[in-house]
């Protein structure tokens, strides 16, 4: 769920609207396609891992 303060900062009426966020990015698609188990592997800055792609 999106915090109501975030919606208020964007100018939405928090009494009328709520928010839901889902994160589907390039990393998650790559996880599924290549069978990688841990998304943190992409952010570990290990070139041996990253050069595979």
pLDDT in tens, 12-26: 999 999 988 887 788
Answer whether residue 6 is part of any domain: no
pLDDT score, position 15? 93
Hey, what long-range contacts does 18-23 have (CB within 8 A, 24 or more apart)? none
pLDDT score, position 13? 94
- The whole-number average pLDDT for the span 22-44 is 88
**Cβ–Cβ contacts within 10 Å for residue 31, how many?**
16
What angle is formed at CA 24 by the lines to CA 4 and CA 26, rounded to 5 degrees?
A: 135
Greatest pairwise CA separation for the chain in angstroms: 50
Answer whether residue 42 is part of any domain: yes
Count of the separate structural domains present in the chain: 1
Output 25 or 32, whichever has higher pLDDT: 32
Residue 43, both tokens: 């952010």
Answer whether residue 52 is part of any domain: yes
Report yes or no: 41 and 28 within 8 Å, Cβ to Cβ. Answer: no
pLDDT score, position 20? 84
- The whole-number average pLDDT for the span 39-48 is 90
């Amino acid at each position: 769920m999106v915090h109501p303060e975030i919606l208020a900062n964007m100018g939405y009426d928090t009494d009328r609207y709520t928010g839901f966020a889902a994160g589907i990015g390039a990393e998650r698609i790559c996880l599924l396609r290549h069978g990688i188990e841990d998304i943190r592997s992409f952010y570990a800055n290990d070139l041996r891992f990253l050069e595979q792609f």
